Structure 1
């Protein structure tokens, strides 16, 4: 436990003062009485006061606060999600009701142990030791809390801080980037929604198809509405149709739960949908849709459901939401099944599934040439044919050029379609047109800032073109909105962390990515481990990568140029690969320079 000596020597608030501040926070109207935030904060504070701060780990919190059993693993994101939420709530509290509080309780990123600091008025100067360094207060203030430092720092102190930052920039080739505060990812007052897979309540294959199709339509159309933040596809698919609102509230942190079911009997289909407030389980909206399948208006029905839900959640913008309803796809079961199978492929990314989905989508767009979503998906399939060498076919133009042509067709068919813009952005990027790719990405981001598949891809493209800071922010947002799909985004986020000098976070992120089936995952992992001084891990991952992509290293410079990496970043990649023990050609560094030679445009 903390002692009188601790308080005197380290200028910490005493236990009674800290407990009083804890009581003040959790009883404030600015501290929402939702989930287990109060229990979470109380647990970590009391453990720290008892001298057990080093034992505050995700496992202990999961068992003690969230009542998980001993089988809990890090694959369960409940602690990470709720810790991020608690940080945002505390930040808001100290900007509102807690502005005049004497003590600040914070939870630095990278762990769960809290820190306790005095909230010192601007007129009070910190004590200094004989060497002239500020004691006590400053050492307990997290480095990213510059607003609080500004309240009491003198002009000379600020000048000293500026000098230190300039010196750090001089000695570090690329400074570590502190991502935007989590409140900028999802604000504490923003309405957040998660969609549970709609239940199959009927008999036979039709009900299953319609239930899945309706869920996918909602996951695609609802994020277009800027008034709500919709958790992504993998997070949604990780839930059961009858998920309890308490699980959604405690594990995901969504304020609203949309659920429902589909029942098919003969030619009749009934869809039920309901929206619940996860704080108390109250049903805010419900609707029943009865339809005759012979009318072939299934997809119009799906669009209507999406519009009605957006109206219910995003008031007072209901009229806008209704007018902005997504264009329904063709009322053809086979064509629609193709789009659903595309998502299965994206989860698996195998050459076997690739061939089946390519054939299916080609048939769909031949029958329905204005089906923008199918064109967009086909563009991404062609792109994988080129970059992964999946099922290559002899043709007059390369798969990458065919991907770009197909993406342009998708954008012409429906200019505001997010998937079409994503396909166009990605195809432009891999056809060595990065400026145009980013321009399209900016356009899509303005239309739909909530689609996790798009913002994750855009974040990755920004990173590869050297915009590591901004790309990292978008990747953080993608993870926050879709923790269930974090593996895809975390690999790119790990690379961004490494390039920004945050090697500790890079290791954490790559370990959570778990994308063993993808060769480039092992390349990134090898580089990260090498930079972090983990030599054995680096060599192991490097050897795995070389076995999976033996043609990469002999043509490494062309491979990096094809990914539109700036020359300085290419040099850093090469150095990291050498450090990981990879056989990079001796003359590689000397050939790193901007090039538009035709031989450089395609990977070998």
Structure 2
């Protein structure tokens, strides 16, 4: 018997549902998978109109009857996370013949057919153009070869080509020696191929979890990736010899037909720990390329998109590095306005909420940021973690906010979670140190300083305080100078302390006056200021005493 069109559609949606929940985007999240299965099942049963927050709370999230969405935000938070997960999945799978979509403001999913189906648009509104179409305003860099243009408001589209394995040409690997012979392609070495495949898979998993990055799936060549709309293409090779591994990685910008980044990663004594090494290298590549806002991909996007006012939350995030480089008051005011405006549009943007909380705390240490409301920062940080619990940056920001509020144990706990999640480890090391784990925190911080091509000078603050803690005030003065941000109070504060302890009182008082000009509160209550810096109370006492020698307090 021939199936009805309705039953055929139901079967297609059910098959697509299984593909979606098995993808790395969902990462086995039982709560998100359960929610999506329930929504799809109810919609296919014709009960989509009955989907409401109280029903989801009791049937999916095991809340009691009488659920109050004002007191308990679980439905709103989980729906927002699910909507974003679906958007990430279909950005990476534009050829899907059936798409499960969650329009904003609705609980019932809709099912679109055809590859790269557009989001449902309100009546009378123009549908969103497909990913590879020219934006209406002509913005966005046009590829000179394929004519494809990335979404002008969304994040970048990245493809990861399968890494190749190559035959080693010598019995040793010297990281500093030039190549005497070209590598021979087509290695049949099983272990080398396994590492190449493993790195490709691990990078796909990490990239798809990176906020604001859309990962193109299953592209085999650079030309294919470009033709399917990828602006950035990652390719790499693996060479494995007894005891040593070299991974070489390149990043191509298809819009201009050029290689824009390249790096080699050498590891020695790798026998018996290939999985750990593979994971470590994959995380370093991810940090270098797609970690917001300093990854190489975002740096290119920032340079191109800074010529016009931000048109999306992503373009607001791209403006953070400019402010972090100077802590300029004018840029600070603009960034505060942009954050507020786009959070008004989408109050459940967990990524922007996290950066807004970080911005609020950091700006309170500048001359232009006198409004310090810890409750506001804590609210944004906690909401960011609720919306994006697996996002490293959300955990890092919450740790920073808790440290600023004097909750050292809470800050250390969140920093530990961030460490397990991976992501940008430099900020995690910074937080671990200030939360009291000085040795491990500074070790992580120094290691990733050496790996990073660029980073905010403010990270030297943790190293300056660690040097003060150890009584090495000459080193503390060097680290304070490396902060190099006169608009940020940390530079003057660390300098004043180090100079006072070195007996250079006249210079310490000059630094103290500079600190008071940026942060007037330090003259009235230096202990309250210093308590925001570190959970180490012995160090707090030492800093307060040194500031008194510098004429403060």
TM-score by length of 1: 0.42
Higher helix share: 1
Higher relative contact order, structure no. (Cα contacts within 8 Å, ≥ 6 residues apart)? 1
